[in-house]
Chains A and B, each alone.
Chain A
Protein backbone atom coordinates (compact mmCIF):
# COMPACT_ATOMS: atom_id res chain seq x y z
CA UNK A 1 0.00 0.00 0.00
CA UNK A 2 1.03 3.54 -0.73
CA UNK A 3 -0.09 6.40 1.45
CA UNK A 4 -0.19 10.04 0.45
CA UNK A 5 -2.51 13.02 0.86
CA UNK A 6 -5.11 14.64 -1.34
CA UNK A 7 -6.02 18.19 -0.30
CA UNK A 8 -4.56 17.39 3.11
CA UNK A 9 -6.62 14.27 3.60
CA UNK A 10 -4.59 11.07 4.06
CA UNK A 11 -5.42 8.33 1.54
CA UNK A 12 -4.20 4.83 0.78
CA UNK A 13 -3.80 3.27 -2.65
CA UNK A 14 -2.55 0.15 -4.34
CA UNK A 15 0.86 0.38 -5.93
CA UNK A 16 -0.18 0.41 -9.61
CA UNK A 17 -2.99 2.92 -9.24
CA UNK A 18 -3.01 6.46 -10.59
CA UNK A 19 -3.85 9.61 -8.69
CA UNK A 20 -7.12 10.29 -10.51
CA UNK A 21 -8.77 6.97 -9.76
CA UNK A 22 -7.84 7.19 -6.10
CA UNK A 23 -9.12 10.75 -5.87
CA UNK A 24 -12.42 9.85 -7.57
CA UNK A 25 -12.88 6.85 -5.26
CA UNK A 26 -12.32 9.13 -2.27
CA UNK A 27 -15.00 11.47 -3.54
CA UNK A 28 -12.85 14.34 -4.83
CA UNK A 29 -14.30 16.14 -7.79
CA UNK A 30 -11.78 16.34 -10.63
CA UNK A 31 -13.20 17.03 -14.09
CA UNK A 32 -12.07 14.56 -16.74
CA UNK A 33 -13.09 13.49 -20.25
CA UNK A 34 -10.56 11.08 -21.69
CA UNK A 35 -10.18 8.82 -18.66
CA UNK A 36 -11.87 5.44 -18.57
CA UNK A 37 -10.96 2.80 -16.03
CA UNK A 38 -11.13 0.03 -18.64
CA UNK A 39 -8.27 1.35 -20.76
CA UNK A 40 -4.80 2.64 -20.08
CA UNK A 41 -4.71 6.31 -19.06
CA UNK A 42 -3.71 8.57 -21.91
CA UNK A 43 -3.65 12.14 -20.61
CA UNK A 44 -5.20 13.64 -23.72
CA UNK A 45 -7.93 15.98 -22.51
CA UNK A 46 -5.71 17.67 -19.89
CA UNK A 47 -8.72 18.51 -17.73
CA UNK A 48 -7.73 16.36 -14.76
CA UNK A 49 -4.78 18.65 -13.93
CA UNK A 50 -3.74 18.72 -10.29
CA UNK A 51 -0.80 20.09 -8.37
CA UNK A 52 1.53 17.43 -7.02
CA UNK A 53 4.14 18.25 -4.42
CA UNK A 54 6.96 15.74 -4.16
CA UNK A 55 10.20 16.14 -2.24
CA UNK A 56 9.46 19.81 -1.76
CA UNK A 57 8.94 20.48 -5.47
CA UNK A 58 5.54 21.19 -6.85
CA UNK A 59 4.29 20.73 -10.39
CA UNK A 60 1.08 20.80 -12.36
CA UNK A 61 0.35 17.46 -13.98
CA UNK A 62 -2.45 15.30 -15.30
CA UNK A 63 -3.68 13.07 -12.49
CA UNK A 64 -4.99 10.28 -14.73
CA UNK A 65 -1.52 9.11 -15.72
CA UNK A 66 0.38 10.14 -12.59
CA UNK A 67 1.28 7.03 -10.56
CA UNK A 68 0.64 7.10 -6.84
CA UNK A 69 3.77 7.55 -4.76
CA UNK A 70 4.53 7.37 -1.08
CA UNK A 71 4.34 10.72 0.63
CA UNK A 72 3.27 12.95 -2.27
CA UNK A 73 0.85 15.77 -1.61
CA UNK A 74 -1.87 16.25 -4.21
CA UNK A 75 -3.89 19.44 -4.43
CA UNK A 76 -6.99 19.35 -6.59
CA UNK A 77 -8.21 22.91 -6.46
CA UNK A 78 -5.46 25.43 -5.79
CA UNK A 79 -5.67 28.73 -7.60
CA UNK A 80 -2.94 27.59 -9.97
CA UNK A 81 -4.76 24.37 -10.83
CA UNK A 82 -8.10 26.08 -11.40
CA UNK A 83 -6.49 28.67 -13.65
CA UNK A 84 -4.73 26.02 -15.76
CA UNK A 85 -7.84 23.90 -15.97
CA UNK A 86 -9.93 26.85 -17.01
CA UNK A 87 -7.53 27.56 -19.85
CA UNK A 88 -7.71 23.95 -21.04
CA UNK A 89 -11.49 24.07 -20.90
CA UNK A 90 -11.60 27.30 -22.87
CA UNK A 91 -9.37 25.80 -25.55
CA UNK A 92 -11.48 22.65 -25.76
CA UNK A 93 -14.59 24.75 -26.11
CA UNK A 94 -12.95 26.86 -28.82
CA UNK A 95 -12.29 23.66 -30.74
CA UNK A 96 -15.80 22.27 -30.30
CA UNK A 97 -18.07 25.24 -29.53
CA UNK A 98 -21.20 23.24 -30.37
CA UNK A 99 -20.82 20.64 -27.64
CA UNK A 100 -23.55 20.88 -25.00
CA UNK A 101 -21.49 18.99 -22.44
CA UNK A 102 -18.43 21.21 -22.88
CA UNK A 103 -20.63 24.31 -22.68
CA UNK A 104 -22.06 23.14 -19.37
CA UNK A 105 -18.68 22.20 -17.95
CA UNK A 106 -17.26 25.56 -18.99
CA UNK A 107 -20.14 27.40 -17.41
CA UNK A 108 -19.60 25.54 -14.16
CA UNK A 109 -15.97 26.60 -14.21
CA UNK A 110 -16.99 30.20 -14.72
CA UNK A 111 -16.00 30.62 -18.36
CA UNK A 112 -18.27 33.13 -20.02
CA UNK A 113 -16.49 33.90 -23.25
CA UNK A 114 -14.06 32.19 -25.58
CA UNK A 115 -11.08 34.37 -26.40
CA UNK A 116 -9.73 32.05 -29.09
CA UNK A 117 -10.67 31.53 -32.69
CA UNK A 118 -13.57 29.11 -32.79
CA UNK A 119 -13.35 26.00 -34.90
CA UNK A 120 -16.28 23.89 -35.99
CA UNK A 121 -15.04 20.50 -34.89
CA UNK A 122 -17.07 18.18 -32.71
CA UNK A 123 -14.38 15.68 -31.65
CA UNK A 124 -12.04 16.63 -28.78
CA UNK A 125 -9.40 14.12 -29.96
CA UNK A 126 -9.23 12.28 -26.66
CA UNK A 127 -8.83 9.01 -28.54
CA UNK A 128 -11.01 7.09 -26.12
CA UNK A 129 -12.97 5.46 -28.96
CA UNK A 130 -9.78 4.27 -30.62
CA UNK A 131 -8.32 3.03 -27.35
CA UNK A 132 -11.44 1.07 -26.45
CA UNK A 133 -11.60 -0.39 -29.96
CA UNK A 134 -7.97 -1.39 -29.56
CA UNK A 135 -7.63 -2.53 -25.97
CA UNK A 136 -11.10 -3.75 -25.04
CA UNK A 137 -12.86 -4.80 -28.24
CA UNK A 138 -9.71 -5.82 -30.10
CA UNK A 139 -11.13 -4.87 -33.48
CA UNK A 140 -8.52 -2.15 -34.20
CA UNK A 141 -10.99 -0.58 -36.61
CA UNK A 142 -10.31 3.11 -35.92
CA UNK A 143 -7.23 5.07 -34.97
CA UNK A 144 -5.77 8.56 -34.98
CA UNK A 145 -4.57 9.75 -38.37
CA UNK A 146 -2.73 12.82 -39.70
CA UNK A 147 -1.17 15.30 -37.32
CA UNK A 148 -1.15 18.77 -35.88
CA UNK A 149 -4.32 20.71 -36.57
CA UNK A 150 -5.43 18.07 -39.07
CA UNK A 151 -5.36 15.26 -36.54
CA UNK A 152 -8.53 13.21 -36.36
CA UNK A 153 -9.81 9.80 -35.45
CA UNK A 154 -10.93 7.92 -38.53
CA UNK A 155 -11.05 4.51 -40.16
CA UNK A 156 -8.03 3.64 -42.34
CA UNK A 157 -8.12 5.32 -45.76
CA UNK A 158 -11.21 7.25 -44.59
CA UNK A 159 -13.40 4.45 -45.86
CA UNK A 160 -15.93 2.12 -44.29
CA UNK A 161 -13.71 0.31 -41.74
CA UNK A 162 -13.71 -3.36 -42.68
CA UNK A 163 -12.46 -4.43 -39.24
CA UNK A 164 -15.34 -2.68 -37.46
CA UNK A 165 -17.83 -5.12 -35.95
CA UNK A 166 -20.37 -2.36 -35.21
CA UNK A 167 -20.38 -3.26 -31.53
CA UNK A 168 -21.07 0.32 -30.53
CA UNK A 169 -18.40 0.50 -27.81
CA UNK A 170 -17.05 3.73 -29.28
CA UNK A 171 -20.59 5.15 -29.31
CA UNK A 172 -21.07 4.47 -25.60
CA UNK A 173 -17.65 5.60 -24.51
CA UNK A 174 -17.36 8.92 -26.40
CA UNK A 175 -17.37 11.66 -23.73
CA UNK A 176 -18.78 14.31 -26.05
CA UNK A 177 -21.26 11.93 -27.62
CA UNK A 178 -20.49 12.55 -31.28
CA UNK A 179 -20.43 8.96 -32.55
CA UNK A 180 -23.93 7.97 -33.58
CA UNK A 181 -25.48 4.58 -34.13
CA UNK A 182 -28.80 3.65 -35.70
CA UNK A 183 -30.69 0.44 -36.36
CA UNK A 184 -33.12 0.22 -39.25
CA UNK A 185 -34.77 -3.09 -40.14
CA UNK A 186 -32.01 -5.67 -40.31
CA UNK A 187 -29.17 -3.14 -40.51
CA UNK A 188 -27.02 -1.42 -37.92
CA UNK A 189 -24.97 1.63 -38.84
CA UNK A 190 -22.24 3.42 -36.91
CA UNK A 191 -22.88 6.75 -38.56
CA UNK A 192 -19.58 8.49 -37.91
CA UNK A 193 -17.54 5.65 -39.47
CA UNK A 194 -20.19 4.94 -42.11
CA UNK A 195 -20.13 1.26 -41.19
CA UNK A 196 -23.29 -0.68 -41.98
CA UNK A 197 -23.71 -4.35 -41.13
CA UNK A 198 -26.55 -6.81 -41.57
CA UNK A 199 -27.99 -8.10 -38.29
CA UNK A 200 -28.90 -11.61 -37.27
CA UNK A 201 -32.41 -12.61 -36.27
CA UNK A 202 -33.04 -14.55 -33.08
CA UNK A 203 -34.63 -17.96 -33.75
CA UNK A 204 -36.95 -17.64 -30.77
CA UNK A 205 -38.10 -14.05 -30.41
CA UNK A 206 -37.40 -12.95 -33.98
CA UNK A 207 -35.59 -9.76 -32.96
CA UNK A 208 -32.54 -8.57 -34.84
CA UNK A 209 -30.05 -8.64 -32.00
CA UNK A 210 -26.48 -8.23 -33.30
CA UNK A 211 -24.53 -7.93 -36.55
CA UNK A 212 -23.65 -11.21 -38.27
CA UNK A 213 -20.06 -10.18 -38.71
CA UNK A 214 -19.66 -9.40 -35.01
CA UNK A 215 -21.11 -12.75 -33.92
CA UNK A 216 -18.89 -14.62 -36.36
CA UNK A 217 -15.83 -12.84 -34.93
CA UNK A 218 -16.86 -13.68 -31.37
CA UNK A 219 -17.54 -17.30 -32.31
CA UNK A 220 -14.14 -17.58 -33.96
CA UNK A 221 -12.31 -16.00 -31.06
CA UNK A 222 -14.01 -17.98 -28.31
CA UNK A 223 -14.21 -21.23 -30.31
CA UNK A 224 -17.96 -21.53 -29.85
CA UNK A 225 -20.22 -24.06 -31.60
CA UNK A 226 -21.78 -23.05 -34.94
CA UNK A 227 -25.32 -22.63 -33.58
CA UNK A 228 -24.24 -20.75 -30.44
CA UNK A 229 -25.60 -17.38 -31.58
CA UNK A 230 -28.84 -18.69 -33.12
CA UNK A 231 -30.76 -17.23 -30.20
CA UNK A 232 -30.30 -13.80 -28.66
CA UNK A 233 -28.87 -13.05 -25.22
CA UNK A 234 -32.29 -12.52 -23.65
CA UNK A 235 -33.82 -15.73 -24.99
CA UNK A 236 -30.82 -17.80 -23.98
CA UNK A 237 -30.95 -16.94 -20.31
Chain B
Protein backbone atom coordinates (compact mmCIF):
# COMPACT_ATOMS: atom_id res chain seq x y z
CA UNK B 1 0.00 0.00 0.00
CA UNK B 2 1.49 3.31 -1.01
CA UNK B 3 1.56 6.50 0.99
CA UNK B 4 -0.88 8.24 -1.32
CA UNK B 5 -3.38 5.35 -1.08
CA UNK B 6 -3.42 5.69 2.69
CA UNK B 7 -3.72 9.46 2.42
CA UNK B 8 -6.68 8.98 0.11
CA UNK B 9 -8.43 6.81 2.71
CA UNK B 10 -7.76 9.39 5.42
CA UNK B 11 -9.10 12.20 3.25
CA UNK B 12 -12.17 10.14 2.38
CA UNK B 13 -13.19 10.35 6.03
CA UNK B 14 -12.48 14.06 6.29
CA UNK B 15 -9.18 13.89 8.18
CA UNK B 16 -11.00 13.49 11.49
CA UNK B 17 -9.66 11.86 14.62
CA UNK B 18 -13.05 10.31 15.25
CA UNK B 19 -12.84 8.39 11.96
CA UNK B 20 -9.88 6.35 13.13
CA UNK B 21 -11.80 3.06 13.23
CA UNK B 22 -13.22 3.47 9.72
CA UNK B 23 -9.77 4.34 8.38
CA UNK B 24 -8.15 1.33 10.02
CA UNK B 25 -10.95 -0.90 8.71
CA UNK B 26 -10.34 0.30 5.16
CA UNK B 27 -6.62 -0.34 5.44
CA UNK B 28 -7.29 -3.76 6.96
CA UNK B 29 -9.72 -4.60 4.13
CA UNK B 30 -7.26 -3.60 1.44
CA UNK B 31 -4.08 -5.00 2.92
CA UNK B 32 -5.59 -7.79 5.08
CA UNK B 33 -3.52 -6.47 7.96
CA UNK B 34 -2.36 -3.18 9.42
CA UNK B 35 1.21 -2.49 8.36
CA UNK B 36 3.21 -0.56 10.93
CA UNK B 37 4.12 2.17 8.43
CA UNK B 38 0.43 2.71 7.70
CA UNK B 39 -0.38 3.11 11.40
CA UNK B 40 2.44 5.58 11.83
CA UNK B 41 1.28 7.60 8.85
CA UNK B 42 -2.31 7.66 10.09
CA UNK B 43 -1.09 8.86 13.50
CA UNK B 44 0.98 11.57 11.92
CA UNK B 45 -1.82 12.80 9.66
CA UNK B 46 -4.57 12.78 12.29
CA UNK B 47 -2.29 13.88 15.10
CA UNK B 48 -3.05 10.83 17.24
CA UNK B 49 -0.22 9.39 19.36
CA UNK B 50 0.97 6.05 18.03
CA UNK B 51 0.39 4.51 21.47
CA UNK B 52 -3.35 5.19 21.12
CA UNK B 53 -3.48 3.74 17.62
CA UNK B 54 -1.66 0.65 18.83
CA UNK B 55 -4.23 0.36 21.61
CA UNK B 56 -7.11 0.36 19.12
CA UNK B 57 -5.36 -1.92 16.64
CA UNK B 58 -4.67 -4.55 19.30
CA UNK B 59 -8.10 -4.32 20.93
CA UNK B 60 -10.33 -5.37 18.04
CA UNK B 61 -10.09 -8.87 16.66
CA UNK B 62 -11.03 -7.56 13.22
CA UNK B 63 -7.57 -6.01 13.04
CA UNK B 64 -4.33 -7.87 12.57
CA UNK B 65 -0.85 -6.48 12.94
CA UNK B 66 0.68 -9.50 11.19
CA UNK B 67 0.39 -10.19 7.48
CA UNK B 68 -2.49 -12.57 6.81
CA UNK B 69 -2.76 -15.46 4.41
CA UNK B 70 -4.41 -15.19 1.01
CA UNK B 71 -7.32 -17.30 2.23
CA UNK B 72 -8.94 -17.02 5.63
CA UNK B 73 -10.38 -20.15 7.17
CA UNK B 74 -13.00 -19.53 9.86
CA UNK B 75 -13.98 -22.59 11.84
CA UNK B 76 -17.24 -22.10 13.70
CA UNK B 77 -16.94 -22.99 17.38
CA UNK B 78 -20.49 -22.00 18.32
CA UNK B 79 -22.52 -24.30 20.56
CA UNK B 80 -24.22 -26.23 17.76
CA UNK B 81 -21.00 -26.74 15.80
CA UNK B 82 -19.11 -27.49 18.98
CA UNK B 83 -21.35 -30.38 19.97
CA UNK B 84 -21.07 -31.76 16.47
CA UNK B 85 -17.31 -31.92 16.68
CA UNK B 86 -15.92 -28.53 15.61
CA UNK B 87 -12.82 -29.17 17.67
CA UNK B 88 -12.01 -32.24 15.57
CA UNK B 89 -12.24 -30.08 12.43
CA UNK B 90 -9.80 -27.59 13.93
CA UNK B 91 -7.46 -30.40 14.90
CA UNK B 92 -7.58 -31.82 11.38
CA UNK B 93 -6.82 -28.42 9.80
CA UNK B 94 -3.99 -27.96 12.27
CA UNK B 95 -2.54 -31.28 11.11
CA UNK B 96 -3.11 -30.49 7.46
CA UNK B 97 -1.56 -27.01 7.50
CA UNK B 98 0.70 -27.10 10.54
CA UNK B 99 -0.73 -23.91 12.05
CA UNK B 100 -2.75 -23.11 15.14
CA UNK B 101 -5.75 -20.77 15.23
CA UNK B 102 -4.60 -17.19 14.69
CA UNK B 103 -1.55 -18.27 12.69
CA UNK B 104 -0.67 -18.09 9.00
CA UNK B 105 1.03 -20.77 6.92
CA UNK B 106 4.62 -20.11 5.88
CA UNK B 107 3.63 -19.80 2.21
CA UNK B 108 1.15 -17.08 3.24
CA UNK B 109 -1.72 -18.99 1.66
CA UNK B 110 -3.92 -19.78 4.68
CA UNK B 111 -4.79 -18.11 7.96
CA UNK B 112 -6.74 -20.19 10.48
CA UNK B 113 -9.24 -18.53 12.80
CA UNK B 114 -11.94 -19.80 15.11
CA UNK B 115 -15.17 -17.82 15.43
CA UNK B 116 -18.00 -18.13 17.91
CA UNK B 117 -20.96 -18.45 15.56
CA UNK B 118 -21.44 -18.09 11.83
CA UNK B 119 -25.21 -18.11 12.08
CA UNK B 120 -25.91 -21.27 10.10
CA UNK B 121 -26.16 -23.66 13.02
CA UNK B 122 -28.38 -26.08 11.08
CA UNK B 123 -25.51 -26.83 8.72
CA UNK B 124 -22.94 -27.44 11.47
CA UNK B 125 -20.14 -28.07 11.83
CA UNK B 126 -19.46 -25.11 9.56
CA UNK B 127 -16.25 -23.82 8.06
CA UNK B 128 -16.11 -20.60 6.06
CA UNK B 129 -13.23 -19.95 3.70
CA UNK B 130 -13.07 -16.41 2.28
CA UNK B 131 -16.77 -16.07 3.02
CA UNK B 132 -17.74 -19.28 1.22
CA UNK B 133 -19.58 -21.63 3.57
CA UNK B 134 -18.96 -25.35 3.87
CA UNK B 135 -21.56 -27.15 5.97
CA UNK B 136 -21.73 -30.64 7.49
CA UNK B 137 -17.94 -30.72 7.71
CA UNK B 138 -16.02 -33.69 8.98
CA UNK B 139 -12.32 -34.29 9.49
CA UNK B 140 -12.38 -36.51 6.40
CA UNK B 141 -13.70 -33.68 4.23
CA UNK B 142 -11.08 -31.16 5.35
CA UNK B 143 -8.38 -32.02 2.83
CA UNK B 144 -10.73 -31.96 -0.15
CA UNK B 145 -12.20 -28.63 0.92
CA UNK B 146 -8.82 -27.01 1.41
CA UNK B 147 -7.62 -28.31 -1.98
CA UNK B 148 -9.76 -25.76 -3.79
CA UNK B 149 -7.77 -22.98 -2.15
CA UNK B 150 -4.31 -24.43 -2.56
CA UNK B 151 -1.66 -22.16 -4.04
CA UNK B 152 -0.58 -22.85 -7.66
CA UNK B 153 2.75 -24.09 -6.39
CA UNK B 154 1.15 -26.59 -4.05
CA UNK B 155 -1.13 -27.80 -6.82
CA UNK B 156 1.82 -28.40 -9.12
CA UNK B 157 3.65 -30.25 -6.40
CA UNK B 158 0.64 -32.48 -5.82
CA UNK B 159 0.29 -33.19 -9.54
CA UNK B 160 3.96 -34.11 -9.82
CA UNK B 161 3.57 -36.73 -7.14
CA UNK B 162 0.69 -38.62 -8.72
Whether B50 and A156, one on each chain, are in contact in the complex, defined by CB atoms closer than 8 angstroms, is yes
Report the Cα distance A161→B36, complex, angstroms.
Answer: 14
Whether B55 and A143, one on each chain, are in contact in the complex, defined by CB atoms closer than 8 angstroms, is yes
Kindly identify which residue among A141, A156, A163 contacts B53, using a CB–CB cutoff of 8 Å: A156
Within 8 A of B (CB), among A115-153: 130, 134, 140-147
Chain A residue at minimum C-beta to C-beta distance from B61: A147
- Given the contacts A163-B49, A163-B50, A144 and B55 also touching, CB distance less than 8 Å: yes
Mostly, the B contact residues are helix
In the complex, whether B52 has a CB less than 8 A from a CB of chain A is yes
Q: Which of B50, B52, B53 gathers most chain A CB within 10 Å? A: B50
In the complex, whether A155 has a CB less than 8 A from a CB of chain B is yes
Chain B residue at minimum C-beta to C-beta distance from A161: B51
Whether A142 and B51, one on each chain, are in contact in the complex, defined by CB atoms closer than 8 angstroms, is yes
Q: In whole Å, how far is B52's beta carbon from the nearest beta carbon of chain A?
A: 6
Contacts of A143 in B (CB 8 A): 49, 51-52, 54-55
Within 8 A of B (CB), among A154-184: 155-157, 161, 163
Report the Cα distance A145→B56, complex, angstroms.
Answer: 7
Q: How many residues of A contact B (CB 8 A)?
A: 15
| Complex interface bits, B9-20 against A, C-beta within 8 A gives 1, otherwise 0 | 000000000000
In the complex, whether B58 has a CB less than 8 A from a CB of chain A is yes
Q: Which of B50, B51, B52, B58 gathers most chain A CB within 10 Å? A: B51
Whether B59 and A156, one on each chain, are in contact in the complex, defined by CB atoms closer than 8 angstroms, is no
Within 8 A of A (CB), among B67-123: none
Contacts of B54 in A (CB 8 A): 143, 145, 156-157
Contacts of A161 in B (CB 8 A): 51
Chain B residue at minimum C-beta to C-beta distance from A150: B58
Contacts of B59 in A (CB 8 A): 145-147
Chain B residue at minimum C-beta to C-beta distance from A139: B49
Report the Cα distance A146→B55, complex, angstroms.
Answer: 7
Chain A residue at minimum C-beta to C-beta distance from B50: A156
Contacts of A147 in B (CB 8 A): 58-59
Q: In whole Å, how far is B122's beta carbon from the nearest beta carbon of chain A?
A: 30
Q: In whole Å, how far is B128's beta carbon from the nearest beta carbon of chain A?
A: 24
Q: A163-B49, A163-B50 are in contact. List 4 more A-B contacts (CB 8 A).
A: A143-B52, A145-B59, A146-B59, A147-B59
**B interface, CB within 8 angstroms of A:** 36, 49-55, 58-59
Closest 3 CB pairs of A and B: A140-B49, A156-B54, A143-B51
* 28 residue pairs A–B, Cβ–Cβ below 8 Å: A134-B49, A140-B49, A140-B50, A140-B51, A140-B52, A141-B51, A142-B51, A143-B52, A143-B54, A143-B55, A144-B55, A145-B54, A145-B58, A145-B59, A146-B58, A146-B59, A147-B58, A147-B59, A155-B51, A156-B50, A156-B51, A156-B53, A157-B36, A157-B54, A161-B51, A163-B49, A163-B50, A163-B51
